[in-house]
Structure 1
Amino acid sequence: MAPAEDDISIEEKRVYAGSAGRTDAYVATGTGVVRVAISGDKVGGFELAARDPARDVAVLARTDDPDRLAVATDDDLLVAPIDADRDGVDGSAFSPVGIGPTVAVGVHDGEFLAADGAGEVHRIRVGGDGDVDAEDAEGDGSPSEPTRIGSVDDPRAVDGPLVAAADGVHRVMGGGAAGGAPTLEPVGLDDARDVAGAGVPLAATPAGLYWLGNGWMSANEGDATAVAADGDGHALAAVDDELLVRDVTDVTDAAAGIGWDADAWRVAPLPVDERPVALGYGPGLSVVVTDAGTLCVNAGDGWRHQAIGVRGVAGVALAVVEGTGG
């Protein structure tokens, strides 16, 4: 494994980040969670941030408190603060939430949403300096007691308010800023493998890629296995082992009458002949991790890649470490 980014001097880190800022990608794998430093399209050092085999990973961004990393493992959902001074996560800082074996985790309305192995979906709030009065959250920054909001059949993925499961796509309704107790409601499809809940809802199924308009509409036929979106009209999808990209914005869409059907997507060849399995977005960049453990980054000028030496890739989440300079 390459030398850890933590071994680079502070001055070198500043030069490395430059005006592009820096984003860390946390990759869930069968070995653990690997943290990879990214600046623009440059891939820096990487290290093992958590040693438990991971089924999924999510980052909860905070304003007045450290961001949180959640890792879905076969034992429990583990949550730890992301230490900006340390440029990563202290492995001893993980706290088990208490929901048991966890298969998927995401973020919605400032909380973690996690699905356990029995299909129960829970919300987990995180307290801290910026949220000391939050209901059910501890003022010391610890995760709250989980609150069950519903159940699904064989959950696979969580993103925003959406849950992908064998019995279709489900959406969290109410709770959070909307007030009241949240509920989990089915919204259609069958055998959903992945979902994207930012902006226009998207779902990946063995029958194809779908977007939610007046009901679920076909975006692309084929065997869809993964999908991600940034909420501004950009999206990535893995269909028939190829990477599809939708890279027009909502403003452009409105002016040109472009929707989310097959014409809005194009095949984007990766720089390696490997299958895309985990997709994500950060500020000004898109990230794809392949089944062979190669991380690919596109910051607008084509794909760059770096092998990170892991297998069993199950998910990726991104955390902003340094914003872009002026």
Structure 2
Amino acid sequence: MAPAEDDISIEEKRVYAGSAGRTDAYVATGNGVVRVALSADKVGAFDMVAREPARDVAVLPRDAGPDLVGIAAADGLRVAPVGDEPEFEAVAADADPAVAVGAHAGAFLVAGEGGGIDRIEAADGGTDPAAASVGTVSEPRAIDGPLVAAGDGVHRVTGGDGAGATHALTPVGLDDARDVAGAGMPLAATASGLYWLGNGWMTALEGAAEAVAADGDGHAMAVVDGDLLVHAGERGTDAGERGTDAWDGETWRATELPVDESAVALGYGPGVSVAVTAAGTLCVDAGDGWRHQVVGVRDVAGVALAVVE
């Protein structure tokens, strides 16, 4: 393993984070959830904030009150407010273990091990929200925005916003989907390749695609055949304005992490890209190359970023 690139102390990183703003990366693992403090590409303190195994993690932005972190756990969805001392509590507990979680239109979308997809709205005042079923898929694997990746392909959650709105699950194609990115241009990682949604699903890269993430602003990352590839979009420009080939293979480039390890979880925060490896190394890029920190976890299943200050 390559040596860490930063030689500044944890205390110095904490001071930097306090003055420059902080984003927390929540890493879901088989041992629990690790929170890592980031400020641009500086990696600060990290600690275990939940000790139950987590299959996935997502952050739900809110206008009123702090954002919420949701984890897919054995007893369903567990939620905590973003903050210095998050305490995760089970909401809408279900006998079916949760295997994937995402955030869309003011609510969490949660996939159960048996294939059921539920929509759970955030609740205030200590009330326990009820889960509303939106449909069922075969072998759910990942959720991002309105998209669900499953063994029987990609599905989209449709329906209106607000109380009383109805929602449904619509299959939108492909097979053996492993991951999806629902921010901006829809992307799907499947056993046969990485796809983007143009006039139907278009091939971006061939090969076994295992993970994908996007920031909704033309930037994306994907793991294909074990390689980490980056799509460097133009900020503020809609992909459709750049032509129909804006997401084809020529728009992706390979990037080398500072460690000889494979990335298994990808995420974006304000101005930062994050890749977490199977060996438990968190890598962050704020535009000047990757920096990294070993966080000492294994069985990494997902990562989500939350703005703290």
TM-score by length of structure 2 reads: 0.91
| Partner in structure 1 of residue 293 of structure 2 | 306
| Partner in structure 2 of residue 89 of structure 1 | 86
Secondary structure, aligned partner of 1:251: coil
1:217 aligns with 2:202: yes
Structure 2 matches for 1:157-196, cutoff 5 A? 157-176=142-161, 180-196=165-181
CA RMSD of aligned residues (A): 2.0
1:120 aligns with 2:116: yes
Moved more, 109-118 or 73-82: 73-82
- For 1:157 and 1:266, locate their aligned partners in 2 and report how far apart those are by CA, in whole Å: 24
Structure holding more strand per residue: 2
The Cα of 1:254 is off from its aligned counterpart by 6.1
Q: Which amino acid aligns with 1:309?
A: G
CA contact (8 A) 1:282 1:318 kept: yes
- For 1:298 and 1:210, locate their aligned partners in 2 and report how far apart those are by CA, in whole Å: 24
| Partner in structure 2 of residue 320 of structure 1 | 307
Structure 2 matches for 1:246-285, cutoff 5 A? 246-249=231-234, 251=237, 257=243, 259-285=246-272
2:140 aligned residue (122, 137, 155): 155
- For 2:240 and 2:189, locate their aligned partners in 1 and report how far apart those are by CA, in whole Å: 24
| Partner in structure 1 of residue 17 of structure 2 | 16
1:98 aligned residue (82, 93, 99): 93
Secondary structure, aligned partner of 2:17: helix
Q: Which amino acid aligns with 1:89?
A: P
Structure 2 matches for 1:44-59, cutoff 5 A? 44-59=44-59
Residues 146 and 36 (structure 1), Cα distance of their counterparts in 2 relative to 1, 3 Å cut: same
Q: Which amino acid aligns with 1:164?
A: A
Residues 256 and 188 (structure 1), Cα distance of their counterparts in 2 relative to 1, 3 Å cut: closer
Q: Which amino acid aligns with 1:68?
A: L
- For 2:135 and 2:239, locate their aligned partners in 1 and report how far apart those are by CA, in whole Å: 35
- For 1:141 and 1:59, locate their aligned partners in 2 and report how far apart those are by CA, in whole Å: 19
The Cα of 1:143 is off from its aligned counterpart by 4.5
User: Structure 1, residues 120-139: CA drift from partner, whole Å, max 9, x if none?
Assistant: 000001122xxxxxxxxxxx
CA contact (8 A) 1:79 1:97 kept: no
| Partner in structure 1 of residue 278 of structure 2 | 291
User: Structure 1, residues 102-126: CA drift from partner, whole Å, max 9, x if none?
Assistant: 0000000010000001100000011
CA contact (8 A) 1:95 1:142 kept: no
Instruction: Determine what percentage of the aligned residue pairs are the same residue.
Output: 60
The Cα of 1:252 is off from its aligned counterpart by 8.0
- For 1:191 and 1:176, locate their aligned partners in 2 and report how far apart those are by CA, in whole Å: 29
1:199 aligned residue (177, 181, 184): 184
| Partner in structure 2 of residue 5 of structure 1 | none
- For 1:162 and 1:41, locate their aligned partners in 2 and report how far apart those are by CA, in whole Å: 29
Q: Which sections of structure 1, spanning at least 5 residues, go unmatched? A: 1-7, 129-139
- For 1:178 and 1:192, locate their aligned partners in 2 and report how far apart those are by CA, in whole Å: 31
CA contact (8 A) 1:176 1:182 kept: no
Equivalent residue pairs, number: 297
Residues 143 and 319 (structure 1), Cα distance of their counterparts in 2 relative to 1, 3 Å cut: farther
CA contact (8 A) 1:72 1:104 kept: yes
User: Structure 1, residues 139-191: CA drift from partner, whole Å, max 9, x if none?
Assistant: x0544110001000010000000000000000011132597411100000000
- For 1:227 and 1:42, locate their aligned partners in 2 and report how far apart those are by CA, in whole Å: 23
The Cα of 1:96 is off from its aligned counterpart by 3.4
Secondary structure, aligned partner of 1:16: helix
Residues 253 and 73 (structure 1), Cα distance of their counterparts in 2 relative to 1, 3 Å cut: closer
TM-score by length of structure 1 reads: 0.87
Moved more, 195-204 or 248-257: 248-257
CA contact (8 A) 1:125 1:143 kept: no
